[in-house]
């Protein structure tokens, strides 16, 4: 695990986006194509903004998956992650080789099966992820299922997760936040060859400390990334403010 601390979210996003671009370019050069995962939410604004302006990425050789989507939420909703990715990423880069979005309006079981079959045939090279205020990875809220081998699963969203979505402005009330979602599983995320985890903002500081410094536990879902052989954390001064002096920090 590598840890990079930047002054503020824009600098964090620039560094994370450049690192992701380098990995994508290298993967395409080595194997002719790249399979990537993109995350959504406010933590990814600056990282994606940097990624779309990176030069010399042949997007026609890139297959894209994303982490999760609310069950039953129409794509027209401002909180839809499909809408988010289409507006903030897909509309701003040349056409990709393939895009596999999670359809929250489809039958959830069938959609999990569909996506699981596709991703099992396309091992992930580069995954962009974040950490929730409750330490979740994708929508795997605590206590997360560390055991399932299914690539995509149906999950219940806990109160802390639903409050975060409301507080970030995606919904007009907590009651509007769906109670279930389709999420990429912990085991599937960890199969990614490289992971870049972007986590700005002081409201994530406790979760960052728990997931980086506590023993690995499904109570802190993102703590599982401590075991990953190629995971880079990109934090800012606020999100890293509770880390101990013993943590190995790069600039």
Chain-centroid distance, C-alpha 104: 17
Q: Compute the average pLDDT of residues 132-155.
A: 97
> Going by C-beta distance under 8 Å and a sequence separation of 6 or more, which residues neighbour residue 78?
170
Query: pLDDT tens for residues 72-111?
Result: 999 999 999 999 999 999 999 999 999 999 999 999 999 9
- Please give the Cα distance from 170 to 157 (Å, whole number): 15
Residue-range domain boundaries for the chain: 2-236
Q: Compute the average pLDDT of residues 113-124.
A: 98
pLDDT band for 158, please (50, 70, 90 cuts). very high
**pLDDT at res. 250:** 61
**Mean per-residue pLDDT over the chain, rounded:** 96
pLDDT band for 140, please (50, 70, 90 cuts). very high
pLDDT band for 1, please (50, 70, 90 cuts). confident
- Please give the Cα distance from 13 to 43 (Å, whole number): 9
**pLDDT at res. 108:** 98
Q: Is the pLDDT of residue 247 over 80?
A: no
Q: Compute the average pLDDT of residues 113-130.
A: 98
Contact 137, 120 (CB under 8 A): no
Q: Using alpha carbons, select from 128, 145, 135 the residue that is nearest to residue 209.
A: 135
Write the CA distances from 45 to 53, 161, 193, integer angstroms. 13, 19, 23
Query: pLDDT tens for residues 189-231?
Result: 999 999 999 999 999 999 999 999 999 999 999 999 999 999 9
For the chain, what percent of residues have pLDDT higher than 90? Answer: 96
pLDDT band for 37, please (50, 70, 90 cuts). very high
193, two tokens: 């060859």
Q: Using alpha carbons, select from 188, 163, 186 the residue that is nearest to residue 176.
A: 163
228, two tokens: 């990953």
Q: Which CATH class is domain 2-236?
A: alpha beta
């Amino acid at each position: 695990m590598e840890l990079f601390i930047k002054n503020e979210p824009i600098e964090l996003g620039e560094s994370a986006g450049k690192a992701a671009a380098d990995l994508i370019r290298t993967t395409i050069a080595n194997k002719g194509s790249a399979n990537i995962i993109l995350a959504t939410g406010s933590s990814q604004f600056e990282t994606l903004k940097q990624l779309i302006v990176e030069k010399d990425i042949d997007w026609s050789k890139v297959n894209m998956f994303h982490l999760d989507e609310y069950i039953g939420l129409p794509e027209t909703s401002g909180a839809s992650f499909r809408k988010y990715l289409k507006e903030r990423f897909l509309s701003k880069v040349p056409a990709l080789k393939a895009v596999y979005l999670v359809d929250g309006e489809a039958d959830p079981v069938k959609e999990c099966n569909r996506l699981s079959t596709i991703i099992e045939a396309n091992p992930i090279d580069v995954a962009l992820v974040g950490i929730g205020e409750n330490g979740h990875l994708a929508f795997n809220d605590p206590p997360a299922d560390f055991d399932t081998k299914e690539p995509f699963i149906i999950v219940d969203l806990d109160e802390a997760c639903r409050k975060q979505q409301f507080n970030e402005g995606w919904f007009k009330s907590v009651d509007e936040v769906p109670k279930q979602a389709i999420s990429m599983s912990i085991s599937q995320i960890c199969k990614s060859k490289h992971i870049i985890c972007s986590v700005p903002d002081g409201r994530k500081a406790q979760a960052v400390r728990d997931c980086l410094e506590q023993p690995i536990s499904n109570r802190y879902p993102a703590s599982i990334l401590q075991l990953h052989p190629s995971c880079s954390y990109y934090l800012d001064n606020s999100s890293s403010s509770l880390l101990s002096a013993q943590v190995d920090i790069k600039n």
